[in-house]
Structure 1
């Protein structure tokens, strides 16, 4: 029997543990904070639960267009919202722990240090124990980056892991950073009724996303009353009594009641013994891995945010599964980033898969494109949806679907059909021949495929 030691209990770790157990491995999982890791306890699950309430508030605010009159005094109870957020996070953690237990995975709550590829020392509340192992998977995740000029205090200056202690909707939330995390929280607090200022160092929010999609989101943000400061870089954040002052590098200042720092992530790779064991890290501390999650040391694998490949829970889980399949002799399909679907949980959402507009415009990939605004979709009209679009990319001549973008309500659900098409290399004609419900938002995806048809 192969003994596998997994360090980190987030999606990369617990999914790997379940696969390894199914494939006959003897699995020990070491987690420092709790099963599910930061993804479940302080990051993805809590933030999307908060966003669910914000989305509801946004829908309530727009209900008059659909003929529903709602009292103007409707307000969220943020204390109750955050208690629900944390309760659901703990429930999800408990569900995962139960799955691991029924799969005969041994879970140790503690910290780990790698001695070499066959030895891990685990420190728990009961003391140290040395584990002999045949292979190691490092899935330790990452934590919020802060700077010496912007130190969180957990009360007024916050990281995204600290916002769930707030009992009242902030009067004025300043969000520093307009990447995915910053944009999501800015959207969420705007929907909850807070005044929001978003500080963006680039000329547009969400600089890593589809430019057309980012333009829609920024337009929605400003239309809903958010102040977006483009091309503005934070120099420092200071607490002054019950206020915070954000100073920008050009000398301007922004004053608010709270500040959320969304400055990126730092991998949790320090003090694990990785360098001493010979594992290669890049200059930012991320673990170098190949497409089957192998590190530079035989028998040591890595998955998830600590690798910096794509900092998504779904990618972490897939890296972990691939690692265990490779280790234990199952069929392996190496990680293919061209098939990864991702979503930005703003309101509206942005979902993408495959080839990007930037790659096409830059001449890296030849593609034909069809783009349809949701304002032409009958279901969108019924639901009062005014923002969003569907975009498909196909290879010229053969018509194979190689990418897509959906901006709209529940885009995270709608992108799955495009993801299947990209993964299965379906043509636009095959996609268009599949029935879509009328009326439905997914009908616009089918119509985009029809627009890309070339007569034979």
Structure 2
């Protein structure tokens, strides 16, 4: 008798944040779920070569820089000379713990993890292949694609050359560079420019646009530009690559403007590509765009109703946090036929430069373009007792609010713990209603804290009203 192919209610391809969110939501609702992962362990790119290692590297670089400049540690710092590879290894323990925790989630919820590469063979079937194992076919009522993304690699660049790296392979660098050129000044490029500058590495940041992170609030990105330059980062705006000349001991970036930039390494950080090329999309009539991304509807369904897609593979906002929520949302739709709408307008952005940036809601530029009457309120960290105590005085909290209703329209924060601080305002915005600014004035905040910046900023904004 022929062996029957295993059937599940839901098959999830990819175990990153989107896949984990989908699998846990389906399993908690008593659906049979299988997760297919082609890497040797769970967690996806977020855990192994993206968010977790880069943010652990950021934390170590920041602490290293603090100790190097702190007079209290004068004797100790004479003997402190860490290299980039040594600091990279500090992320290993975090990755191991995260992987262990996530594997336990699947075990506790009886979700089998199937190792191998998945390819679609129909709207309800998947073939899984793994080295040294026989291919197997799984079927399911619904399939969720959470395959993530990888750095975009233009064909004219030789990424096999040791002097040319992307955001994945830079984490495998085995020497401490004296200089590095970063091409692309988006989130990844800006974060790595900040990290390397705090390790004493000379950084050239080449931006193809006229300003850093142009979708963010202008005042915040101007502050970031100032502090990057203050750390010695050379920023080149409105530049485009003409060609790259890798050599034995360095690499030269030739720009269309005629400028040439020589450094030990080139880090290419200009765009990402969805991991869809091995999915055999043609078998179900799906087609990815030029960046390997899939289109989905408001329920995260592709053009094939039984196949959903979440996370980086569908493009913006391409955040670990949003991917997890998208996975839960898609699974909820599978389970109940409907799902609570996600508030994408209240999804925070966190950029882990040093200092970090976080925001939620509208920018001044967006409000000015639509003619909304608004006012702003500032709280500068240098005026907060807590910031003075911990010597984190760089930064500010900026509230943008409706000049008539006092509704909070946008929150933008620059400085240490910005990605934590923003959540207070996000919660108030999600509550809805008018006179939200008054909420921060009437609330008693612990003292001294960074959170009291909301009261200071609200009072500052109220005083601006005519």
Query: 1:45-444 residue pairs with structure 2 within 5 A?
Result: 45-64=52-71, 71-72=77-78, 74-125=80-131, 126-153=133-160, 155-279=162-286, 281-329=288-336, 332-363=339-370, 365-425=372-432, 427-444=436-453
TM-score (norm 1): 0.94
When structure 1 is superposed on structure 2, of 20-29 and 356-365 the one drifting more is 356-365
Change (3 A) 1:144 1:327: same
Q: Deviations over 1:80-135 (max 9, x none)?
A: 32223234223312221121111111111111111222111111231211111100
Quote the Cα distance in structure 2 between the aligned partners of 1:364 and 1:36: 44
Aligned to 2:456: 447
> 2:324 aligns to what SS in structure 1?
helix
Residue 283 of structure 1 and its aligned partner are, at CA, apart by: 4.7
* Cα distance in 1 for residues equivalent to 2:26 and 2:65: 43
2: CA distance, partners of 1:27 / 1:191:
44
Which moves more between the two structures, 303-312 or 352-361? 352-361
Contact 2:245 2:251 in 1 (8 A): yes
Q: Could you list the runs of 4 or more consecutive aligned residues of structure 1 that deviate by over 6 angstroms after TM superposition?
A: 66-69
CA gap 1:46/1:389 in 2 versus in 1, 3 angstroms = same
Q: How many residues are treated as equivalent by the alignment?
A: 455
CA distance in 2, matches of 1:7, 1:141: 10
Once the two structures are overlaid, the 10-residue window that deviates more, 396-405 or 328-337, is 328-337
Q: Cα distance, 1:354 vs. partner?
A: 1.5
| Partner in structure 1 of residue 4 of structure 2 | none
Superposition deviation, residue 31 in structure 1: 0.9
Residue 120 to residue 364, structure 1, CA distance change in 2 (3 Å): farther
Change (3 A) 1:406 1:68: farther
**1:449 Cα deviation after fit:** 2.2
The answer (yes or no) to whether the contact 1:304–1:317 under 8 Å persists in 2 is: yes
- Over 3 Å counting, the alpha-carbon distance change for 1:308 and 1:243 in structure 2 is same
Q: What is the alpha-carbon distance in structure 2 between the residues aligned to residue 420 and residue 69 of structure 1?
A: 45
Whole-angstrom CA distance in 1 between matches of 2:118 and 2:372: 44
Q: CA deviation at 1:58?
A: 2.8
Q: Assess if the C-alpha contact under 8 Å between 2:127 and 2:135 holds in 1.
A: yes
Are the counterparts in 2 of residues 41 and 90 from structure 1 also a CA contact under 8 Å? no
For normalisation by structure 2, the TM-score amounts to 0.92
Residues 311-357 of structure 1 deviation map (CA, whole Å, 9 limit, x = unaligned): 10001000000001111018722222111011111111000112222
**CA offset at residue 381 of structure 1?**
3.0
Question: Do the aligned residues in 1 keep the contact of 2:346 with 2:426 (CA within 8 Å)?
Answer: yes
Structure 1 gaps of 5+ residues are none
The Cα offsets for residues 370-429 of structure 1, whole Å up to 9 and x where unpaired, read as 223323323333333343211112233222223200100111111110111122226111
Q: State yes or no: 1:22 paired with 2:28.
A: yes
